[in-house]
Amino acid sequence: MGTVGAIQVDDALVHRWAEQPIDRLTIARMLASGENASPEKLVVIAQHVHRELTVRLARRLLDLQTLPYVVVIDPSIQKVFALYEKAFATLVGHPKVVNVSQDAAFVELVKGLVAEGVEVVPWLAKGVREASRKVPARQLNLDRFVSDMLMSRISRRVIAEQYVALHEQRDGYIGVICRETSPAAAARRVAPEAQA
């Protein structure tokens, strides 16, 4: 690890953040926290988002560090690591959001982090594919790693996009969640296609 921006990212810092518990994400909690989100409530949500994204990125950095050497040295995996390290350092170096103007700035920071992360899945896939050409996939045992990386990416993306969307309120929505969506109705609609 090294210095990213003004932040010295070292193993101890990553471990300290990674050891913190994560707050499980549920639609019910997202709806409850986002409903009637006043500017003051958005500040509290920003603090939660700040912490959650930092902890989740720290855990992924540790996962990346413990990969087999043939995977760690892959250029695509190194891109993922560098991007995560930069995002982690950015979040660690960002002050706690305590007012509305800081919340507005944090929204822009989160939008930027989301935009920067678009290539992660293709890089991850390419890196795993390249490593599997050198060492048989069953020996690398990367299924759990890839699954954890993808699930964490989805959860971080949902957390980030929900937070951003709460600042861009639309009728019928709480953040990115449509109030009128019925999972049962959606399942019935797509069931015939799934069976084909």
Residue 20 pLDDT: 98
**Per-residue pLDDT, 4:** 52
Give bridge partners of residue 177 from the DSSP assignment: 174
Task: Report the alpha-carbon angle 57-61-67, nearest 5.
Answer: 145
Q: pLDDT tens digit string along 99-128?
A: 999 999 999 999 999 999 999 999 999 999
pLDDT for 136: 81
pLDDT value of residue 138: 79
pLDDT at 1 over 80: no
- Secondary structure (3-state) at 174: strand
| Enclosing H/E stretch for 7 | strand 7-8
The model's pLDDT over 82-93, given as tens digits with 9 standing for 90+, comes to: 999 999 999 999
35-49 confidence digits (pLDDT tens): 888 999 999 999 999
Q: How confident is the model at residue 196 (pLDDT cuts 50, 70, 90)?
A: low
Nearest CA to 107 among 52, 176, 46, 170?
46
**Average pLDDT of the residues in 153-173:** 94
CA distances from 64 to 53, 128, 137 (A): 16, 12, 17
Residue 30 has pLDDT above 70, yes or no: yes
**155-192: string of b/e by CB count within 10 Å (b at 16+)?**
bbebbbebbbbbbeeeeebbbbeeeeeeeeeeeeeeee
CATH number at residue 108: 1.20.140.20
Contacts of residue 166, defined as CB under 8 A and 6 or more positions apart, other chains included, come to: 34, 37, 42, 45, 174, 175
Output the pLDDT for position 40.
Answer: 96
pLDDT at 190: 82
Give the span between the Cα atoms of 49 and 43, in whole angstroms: 10
Q: How far is CA 142 from CA 30, 65, 68, 145, 155, in A?
A: 31, 13, 9, 5, 20
Domain that includes residue 55, residue range: 3-195
- Looking from the CA of 92 toward its CB, the CA atoms found within 13 Å total 24
Task: Tell which residue, 59, 58, 77, has the closest CA to residue 68.
Answer: 77
Instruction: Kindly report which listed range (53-67, 94-108, 170-184) carries the lowest average pLDDT score.
Output: 170-184
Distance, CA of 112 to CA of 117 (rounded, Å): 9
Residue 23 has pLDDT above 70, yes or no: yes
The C-alpha R_g of the chain, in whole angstroms, comes to: 19
How many folded domains does the chain comprise? 1
Predicted TM-score of the model (pTM): 0.87
- Chain mean pLDDT for the chain: 91
Task: State the helix-helix crossing angle for 100-116 and 75-93, rounded to 10 degrees.
Answer: 180
With a cut of 80, say whether residue 94 has pLDDT above it: yes
